[in-house]
Amino acid sequence: MTCSTEVIEYMHQYLDEEILEQDKVKLKKHLDECEDCAIHFHELKKTIALVQSTSHIQAPANFTENVLGLLPKEKKQAVFKR
């Protein structure tokens, strides 16, 4: 069964926290009745959780010193070069 794009649109509005209260009720009711859509919605939420689970990484050591070392000595000269 292929459900209306309206339901998919509600899912995305829900994920963006922009769904209207009455549409949220419609979405919940539909998800209770339609397994395909319930799976779709679950997969979307899982996807977000997976992306958010990618651990936060840090800039390499000495990053600040390296960039400061690359700065033009006289700012005005650098502007003239451009």
Q: Summarize as ranges the residues that interact with other proteins (CB under 8 A).
A: 8-9, 12, 15-16, 40, 43-44, 46-48, 50-60, 63-64, 66-68, 70-72, 75, 78-79, 82
For the CB of residue 37, give the shortest distance to other proteins in the complex, in Å: 13
**Residue closer to other proteins (CB basis): 9 or 32:** 9
d(CA 82, CA 80): 5
The minimum distance between CB 24 and other proteins, in angstroms, equals 17
Q: How far is the CB of 33 from other proteins (least distance, A)?
A: 21
